[in-house]
């Protein structure tokens, strides 16, 4: 039998040359302000340029290296200083090194046996994020994104209130109701549909003129849901709404949750990183909720994906809710302390390593450097707002909100 692609020396030579292209084209040019952010092509033309067809026989290394160049050339430079699409711009060289090592090691993070370094590292990184939230203990896991973290929160909350849901499904439960603001992320509705709760049972709570949830409206929605015969169980507050960058008033919402005995989740996927800044963390005052979703891959430029799902619980709720104790993977009789086999806490089986890039970045620039990064994002937004105000043809939609977010809402009037 042949060894397709297994010639080590040739493979390493190819890798070495490809890394040079990666350095020159994706990293250096990709972050160079004098280069284009994107070389736009319509689908038909791009399809031809890429020659995507998957062949029967392999190609020569030179041809493959040329393909790497072309892929980079027509991709959007998300690390470019002028990339302003969505919420994950920027390229950090240290985080990138963490990501490249992660790929080379190709580890699945389920057990200590297979991921000793990363099991310990994830524990430390999650503990640090929890500490910033305000918890000296708790639980958590990295998930494949903020949307999925929000689903974890709903599922854990459902299980906490109704443990029978796991075995019997929603049929054993009263009709549930959950609450998030009108400006909340669409993943709340996607999650409710996915978890068998249904989008009709998501109550969208009214917001003020800045896009913040109004606690009195939450109270009213809870009463309305109860009157309709549903059982409220979960409230999601948002720190950094997608469009307006609003931060919900957490303390007021916490009071309502406490009064009604509801699980209090904070979707801080975007805004969570403000916790690092002494100047801006007041925006998240009251975040010591039941659970928090926080994506360092957004404001901290750690790279996709790095999504922490954090829990206040110390009773093993996450494991009881998601665990299946598959005996071929999570044997209780291994030769080491199996409490380190944390992979069963997620609905995933194989799971990527998402902690190394954040850990290495943190070692490189420290908590102070991260704080600085967050404060730059806020400062740039303020600067842009001032510039907008000085220009004809532009109108600032929401002035006050600016200070409270890394985003900006502007109306442009074409001449």
Which residue number, 12 or 216, has a Cβ lying nearer to its own copies?
12
- Closest contact distance (angstroms) between CB of 314 and its own copies is 19
Give me the least distance between CB of 251 and its own copies, in Å please.
28
Residue 367's closest CA among 27, 206, 128?
Answer: 128
User: Closest approach of Cβ 254 to its own copies, in Å?
Assistant: 26
Record the tokens describing residue 172, joined without a space: 């054993």
Considering beta carbons, is residue 101 or 403 the nearer one to its own copies?
101
Smaller CB separation from its own copies, 112 or 247: 112
- Give the nearer residue to its own copies in terms of CB position, either 194 or 255: 194
Which long-range contacts link 213-219 to residues 24+ away (Cβ below 8 Å)?
213/180, 213/181, 213/183, 213/237, 213/238, 213/248, 213/249, 213/253, 215/249, 215/252, 215/253, 215/255, 215/256, 218/179, 218/253, 218/256, 219/256
ω into residue 14 within 30 of 0, thus cis?
no
Nearer to its own copies, 38 or 396 (CB): 38
How far is Cα 3 from Cα 148, in angstroms, rounded to an integer?
Answer: 39
Cα–Cα dist 46/34, whole Å: 23
Q: Tell me if 348 sits within 8 A of 182, measured CB to CB.
A: no
CB of 345 to its own copies, least distance (A): 11
Question: Which of 407, 23, 56 lies closest to 244 in space, CA to CA?
Answer: 407
**Residue 206 Cβ, how far from its own copies at the closest point, in Å?**
19
CB of residue 320 vs its own copies: minimum separation in angstroms? Answer: 11
Which is closer to its own copies, CB of 93 or CB of 259?
93
Element (H, E) at 395: strand 394-396
At its nearest, how many Å lie between its own copies and the CB of residue 255?
Answer: 28
Report the residue number, 168 or 389, with the smaller CB distance to its own copies: 168
Cα–Cα distance, 307 to 283 (Å, whole number):
20
């Amino acid at each position: 039998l042949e060894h397709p692609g297994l010639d080590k020396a040739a493979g390493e030579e190819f890798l070495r040359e490809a890394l040079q292209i990666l350095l020159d084209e994706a990293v250096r040019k990709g972050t160079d302000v004098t280069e284009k952010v994107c070389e736009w092509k319509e689908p038909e033309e791009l399809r031809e340029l890429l020659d995507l067809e998957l062949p029967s026989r392999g190609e020569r290394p030179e041809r493959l290296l040329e393909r790497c160049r072309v892929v980079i050339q027509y991709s959007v430079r998300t690390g470019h200083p002028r990339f302003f699409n969505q919420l994950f711009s920027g390229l950090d060289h240290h985080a990138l090194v963490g990501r490249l090592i992660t790929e080379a090691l190709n580890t699945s993070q389920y057990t200590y046996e297979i991921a000793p370094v990363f099991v310990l590292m994830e524990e430390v990184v999650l503990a640090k994020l929890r500490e910033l939230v305000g918890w000296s203990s708790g639980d958590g896991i990295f998930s494949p994104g903020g949307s999925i973290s929000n689903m974890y929160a709903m599922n854990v909350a459902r299980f906490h209130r109704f443990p029978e849901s796991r075995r019997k499904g929603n049929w054993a439960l009263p009709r549930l109701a959950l609450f998030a603001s009108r400006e909340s992320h669409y993943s709340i509705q996607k999650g409710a549909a996915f978890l068998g709760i249904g989008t009709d049972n998501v109550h969208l709570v009214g917001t003020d003129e800045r896009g913040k949830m109004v606690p009195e409206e939450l109270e009213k929605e809870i009463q309305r849901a109860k009157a309709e015969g549903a059982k409220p169980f979960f409230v999601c507050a948002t720190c950094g709404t997608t469009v307006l960058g609003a931060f919900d008033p957490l303390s007021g919402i916490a009071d309502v949750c406490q009064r009604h005995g509801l699980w209090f989740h904070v979707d801080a996927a975007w805004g969570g990183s403000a916790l690092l800044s002494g100047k801006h963390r007041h925006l998240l005052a009251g975040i010591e909720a039941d659970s928090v979703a926080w994506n360092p891959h957004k404001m901290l430029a750690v790279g996709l994906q790095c999504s922490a799902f954090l829990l206040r619980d110390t009773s093993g709720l996450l494991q009881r809710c998601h665990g299946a104790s598959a005996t071929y993977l999570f044997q209780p009789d291994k030769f080491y302390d199996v409490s380190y086999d944390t992979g069963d806490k997620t609905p995933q089986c194989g799971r990527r390593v998402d902690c190394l890039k954040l850990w290495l970045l943190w070692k490189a620039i420290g908590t102070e450097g991260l704080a600085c990064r967050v404060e730059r994002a806020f400062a740039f937004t303020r600067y842009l707002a001032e510039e907008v105000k000085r220009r004809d043809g532009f109108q600032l939609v929401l002035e006050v909100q600016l200070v409270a977010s890394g985003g900006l809402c502007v109306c442009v009037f074409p001449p």
